């Protein structure tokens, strides 16, 4: 294949292109020199400690936050471009935490995903109705589509908000902590659903989660972020705990002591997974 054609195909498959991105919040640098490309159909996990800039990166990609330096291109357009209407789906941390007094069925919630500035005052078209039905079917909530969202389990609510994003026919979906408050069985079911969306529907997913174990078992590619990108590569090549500590510049506090101990004694791991998993991120 001629190089120019190969380059053109490569360009078309890249749906997110972030170059030399830096973002400050309240006068503090949160992201620095971020370079990132995501291709169609990828399932990318974004991990890092609290305050590392994960949510900030998602919000900047969406155009909600402004960058001080660098560029972001989504399908060849700047964030918030009208040409991106319906292409980008966003599921925030609080998306499934609807107030108890809000009475809305699964179908009504999913239907909200089809509303935009151009059809806001129009009757529900056959195309929009079909989009809603297909999205509900994709997440396996057909039997619950007329059920009030407040009566669903945590995992079912997450499926409902995912369906809302899918109803817009979004090709690229960004998730911020979708596994918080979800039990183990529902979590496994959700992760299988997201993987299926990538493989069978050619959706592209960028997901932030503190559940490092789940990410390592599910995503195709992992990015470790702590102000800048410390690792970006295939999931199976993600650093072990000791290497991860080294990436973060963390030194073993007992290194000197253990040099005097019996060499047969095992050194405890330098980083515990729980340190990445325990609290919701505040950025």
Give the pLDDT confidence score for residue 256 in this predicted structure: 55
> Contact at 8 Å (CB) between 22 and 34?
yes
Backbone angles phi, psi at 90, to 5 degrees: -135, 120
Place of tokens 């789906």: 89
pLDDT at 109: 92
Paired tokens of 108: 């009504």
- Both structure tokens of 146: 């007329």
| Per-residue model confidence as pLDDT tens digits over 160-176 | 988 888 888 889 999 99
Encode pLDDT of 250-276 as tens digits: 667 666 555 455 545 443 443 334 444
CA dist 16 → 60, 61, 165 (Å): 12, 9, 18
Question: Whole-angstrom distance between the N-terminal and C-terminal Cα of the chain?
Answer: 46
Run of H or E including 188 = helix 184-201
Mean pLDDT of 273-282: 44
- Characterize 60-85 residue by residue with b for buried, 16 or more Cβ atoms within 10 angstroms of its Cβ, and e for exposed: bbbbebebeebebbbbeeebeeeebe
- pLDDT tens-digit profile of 36-45? 999 999 999 9
Contact 117/152 with Cβ under 8 angstroms? no
The CA-based diameter of the chain, rounded to the nearest angstrom, is 77
Q: Between residues 96 and 173, which one has the greater pLDDT?
A: 173
Cβ-proximal residues to 166 (8 Å cutoff; 6+ apart), any chain: 89, 113, 134, 135, 138, 139, 173, 197, 203
Secondary structure (3-state) at 30: strand
Instruction: Give the pTM.
Output: 0.78
The tens digit of pLDDT for each residue in 189-242 reads 889 889 988 999 899 999 999 888 889 999 999 999 999 999 999 999 998 877
Contact 219, 197 (CB under 8 A): no
Whether 64 has a pLDDT exceeding 80, the answer reads: yes
Please report which residue ranges of 101-183 form alpha helices under DSSP H. 106-112, 126-138, 154-167
Top mean pLDDT of 55-64, 174-183, 207-216, 237-246 is at: 55-64
Question: Do residues 91 and 178 make contact, with C-beta atoms less than 8 angstroms apart?
Answer: yes
Residue pair 4/26 in contact by the 8 Å Cβ criterion: no
């Amino acid at each position: 294949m001629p190089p120019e054609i190969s380059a053109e195909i490569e360009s078309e498959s890249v749906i997110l292109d972030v170059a030399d991105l830096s973002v400050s919040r309240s006068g503090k640098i949160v992201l620095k020199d971020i370079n990132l490309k995501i291709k169609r159909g990828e399932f990318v996990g974004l991990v890092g400690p609290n305050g590392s800039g994960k949510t900030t990166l998602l919000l900047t990609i969406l155009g909600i936050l402004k960058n001080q330096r660098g560029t972001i291109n989504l399908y060849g357009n700047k964030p918030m471009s009208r040409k991106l209407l319906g292409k980008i789906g966003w599921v925030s941390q609080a998306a499934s935490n609807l107030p108890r007094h809000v009475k809305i069925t699964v179908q009504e919630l999913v239907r909200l995903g089809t509303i935009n500035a151009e059809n806001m005052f129009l009757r529900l078209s056959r195309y929009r109705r079909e989009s809603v039905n297909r999205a509900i079917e994709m997440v396996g909530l057909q039997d619950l589509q007329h059920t009030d969202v407040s009566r669903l389990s945590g995992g079912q609510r997450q499926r409902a908000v995912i369906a809302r994003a899918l109803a817009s026919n979004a090709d690229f979906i960004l998730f911020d902590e979708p596994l918080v408050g979800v039990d183990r069985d529902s979590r496994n079911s959700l992760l299988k659903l997201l993987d299926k969306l990538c493989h069978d529907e050619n959706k592209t997913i960028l997901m932030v989660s503190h559940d490092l174990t789940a990410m390592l078992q599910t995503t195709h590619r992992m990015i470790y972020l702590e102000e800048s990108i410390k690792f970006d590569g295939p999931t199976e090549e993600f650093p072990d705990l000791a290497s991860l500590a080294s990436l973060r510049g963390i030194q073993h506090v007992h290194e000197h002591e253990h040099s005097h101990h019996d060499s047969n004694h095992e050194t405890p791991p330098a980083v515990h997974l729980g340190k990445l998993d325990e609290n919701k991120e505040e950025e």
